[in-house]
Homo-oligomer: A and B are copies of this chain.
Amino acid sequence: MTPHLDSFFKQVDGLSESFIDRLRKAVAIPSISAQDEHRNDVVRMAQFLAAELKNLGAEVELRPLGKQPGKEHLDLPPVIIARYGNDTSKRTILVYGHYDVQPALKDDGWASDPFELTIDEKGRMYGRGSTDDKGPVLGWLNVIEAHQKAGVELPVNLLCCFEGMEEYGSEGLDEFIQAESKAFFKDADAVCISDNYWLGTKKPCLTYGLRGCNYYSVSVSGPGQDLHSGVFGGSAHEPMTDLVAILSKLVDSQGNILIPGIMDLVAPATEEERALYSGISYTVNNLHESLGSETGIHSTKEKILMARWRYPSLSIHGIEGAFSAPGAKTVIPAKAIGKFSIRTVPNMESEDVNRLVFNHIKAEFAKLDTKNKLDVWLQHDGKWWVANPKHWNFNAASKAVRQVFGVDPDMTREGGR
């Protein structure tokens, strides 16, 4: 099928020891973005990666992102941006990855030193960052190197964007990308995010969507201070009573959102979309395993996956200001703040969701006929994303998966970050 790539694949196999060695060097740098004392290692990792890219002939820049918000004594690690290839007759693919890792201690349950790449008897490699996300990032360097050594021209121009703060909220990245979208990244025809996992253990997956999240607080307040339920119980409108009443009107036990109009915002599933689910390698048992229980709502793979990926959901996370410790305390909280969020999907616009949420809560609160005071506000929102899984970029990725793994990839979405 791809005879012109035979020499390329031969190089990949031949270079595998050197690829593994590059991963070993990367894993050995504890580039933990969450820990101040490792900030130098994060920067060291950026320099390692930039040097490797330069060795391969890429144009590389380390771009500073300024001071870390809230920790002004610390510089944010740089974003590595790079370009490989300048042929205007080719498509240009922007590749994203991150070179920082989460903290890891042997005491956390690692069988080996997390910062030493360890290979077991089945050839499986262990090391912090080996899959998230140093391995996938180095994969792009390996691809370039193997093409060069095989004498096969890379069929696209590559743009790279590798950040060092992904595991700590991608501080500073949004603004940077926004600014470079019309500059360094302006040629990008498609984006490839190399930072994902497989749905099961048998097939790679290609992700074409992600739910958004609108996170709300709803507060009910009344008394000037917390009250003793012995002294005041029965004489005052209790904020917790009102808050619980409001929260009970948001979602039912089957996961149905009770806010009028919300479901009208949801794009209907087309036949073409529905067809994608049946082939996906997933079972009800997979859900039970990941839940650690048999308390799933839906009884078919298709319904489960659609509930997680393409329909909205509403979760109540907790209450701030009420008694939350073990034991017993006879307090009437003066103010209680409920926290809930809605996972959003096409075509729910944040402002429309907010309006429906606020109107519903205010209407339900009015029915309570209480003298307490209501406040409801959006804490933050993040928009959903969905791509066309038949786009040429996905077709190319599917072909690559078939070539290397011998199977069609699962076309997946994600439930939300």
Which A residues fall within an 8 A CB radius of B?
A: 211, 213, 215, 222-225, 227-238, 240-242, 244-245, 247-248, 251-255, 287, 290-298, 304, 307-308, 311-320, 322-334, 336, 339, 341, 343, 368-372, 379-380, 414-417
Instruction: List 30 A-B residue pairs with CB atoms under 8 Å apart, sorted by A's residue number.
Output: A223-B293, A223-B295, A225-B292, A228-B415, A229-B343, A230-B343, A233-B314, A233-B343, A234-B415, A235-B297, A236-B295, A236-B297, A240-B317, A240-B318, A241-B251, A241-B252, A241-B316, A244-B247, A245-B248, A245-B252, A292-B334, A315-B330, A317-B328, A317-B333, A318-B319, A320-B325, A328-B339, A328-B379, A329-B339, A330-B416
Are B240 and A312 in touch, CB under 8 angstroms? no
Closest to A371 in B: B295
Closest to A365 in B: B253
Nearest 9 CB-CB pairings of A with B: A224-B292, A230-B416, A318-B323, A234-B313, A318-B322, A233-B313, A248-B248, A324-B324, A234-B307
Are B341 and A330 in touch, CB under 8 angstroms? yes
Are B241 and A291 in touch, CB under 8 angstroms? no
Contact of A233 among B315, B328, B336 (CB under 8 A): B315
Known contacts A328-B379, A330-B317, A379-B328; A242 and B234 CB within 8 A of each other:
no
In whole angstroms, what is the CA distance A371 to B293 when docked?
A: 10
Q: How many copies does the complex hold?
A: 2
Closest to A248 in B: B248
In whole angstroms, what is the CA distance A245 to B229 when docked?
A: 22
In whole angstroms, what is the CA distance A327 to B216 when docked?
A: 10
Known contacts A235-B308, A248-B244; A415 and B322 CB within 8 A of each other:
no
Closest to A245 in B: B248
Are A317 and B237 in touch, CB under 8 angstroms? no
Report the minimum CB–CB distance from A344 to chain B (whole Å): 11
Known contacts A315-B240, A328-B339; A298 and B230 CB within 8 A of each other:
no
